[in-house]
Amino acid sequence: MAKEKIVLITGASSGIGEATAKTLVNNGHKVILTARREEQLNQLVAELGSDNALAVAADATDFTALENVVTKGIEKFGRLDVAFANAGMGVSTAGTEKGDPDEWSTMIDINIKALLWSAKLTLPHLRKTTGHFILTSSAAGRKPIGGSIYGATKWFAYGFGQNLAQEMSEWNGRCTTIAPGMVNTPFFDEAKPDKLDPQDVADAVLFAIEANQRNSVREIYLMPTN
């Protein structure tokens, strides 16, 4: 069994974040969970056990609120080994000409700014543990998609992850960018059999953090088989 990791997860109340929390705890790790929906977070902690999980509700786009999450998590567990910046959203109307600027602004706050805040706030603690930063980009951040503002925010996430991996390598820290295709989560309106499952992404996170310290898994690109 790999050494127990203390892992902070943003966007933890459903979908990929929830699946990852369960997978990590089931494999002997402990989690600090944050999202805006406090009730769902508390239910998840009740399921995982308060020895293994802490919930601190916060809006990841609020720097001060996210700082409180990191502080509370370290107060409980004493250190931070991994940060998983997973919070994200899409838009209801695609395209540049037809898109909604207010919706873009909200999406940029969560897909870009919250990612930056997560890195800024956790890196000093990850440096102490020679830790690991993981982020959710997207297959949409690896290829052009006509008029996709969402895709452009995930291009940012993808590029940031590559740059951060180099920055963290200066002190032997590891950074993994996870780029999944469509995942069957509340993010999308209807379930389809040709989507990935949140568990697929959770398994990728587990693989990356449990890899031998000499092995920095820089990127995991997941697509539905069919």
Residues 220 and 178: beta-carbon distance below 8 Å: yes
Distance (Å, rounded) from C-alpha 31 to C-alpha 60? 16
- Which residue range is the domain that position 58 belongs to? 6-222
Determine, yes or no, domain membership for 142.
Answer: yes
13-26 per-position pLDDT tens digit? 999 999 999 999 99
Would residue 65 count as lying in a domain?
A: yes
pLDDT score for 194: 77
Known catalytic residue at 150: yes
Domain membership of residue 171 (yes or no) is yes
Burial 3-41 (b: 16+ CB within 10 A, else e): eebbbbbbbbbbbbbbbbbbbbbeeebbbbbbbbeeebb
Q: Is residue 134 domain-resident? A: yes
Q: Looking at the domain assignment, is residue 76 inside a domain?
A: yes
Q: Please give the tally of structural domains in the chain.
A: 1
- Which residue type occupies 59? D
* CATH code of residue 24: 3.40.50.720
pLDDT in tens, 41-60: 999 999 999 999 999 999 99
Does residue 1 fall inside a structural domain?
Answer: no
35 is a domain residue: yes
| Annotated active-site residue in 117, 133, 150, 158 | 150
Question: What per-residue confidence (pLDDT) applies to 184?
Answer: 80
Whether 29 and 7 have beta carbons less than 8 Å apart is answered as yes
Residue 68 inside a domain? The answer is yes
SS3 189: coil
- If you count them, how many residues does the chain have? 226
DSSP line for 66-113: HHHHHHHHHHHHS---EEEE------SS-STTT--HHHHHHHHIIIII
62 vs 93, higher pLDDT: 62
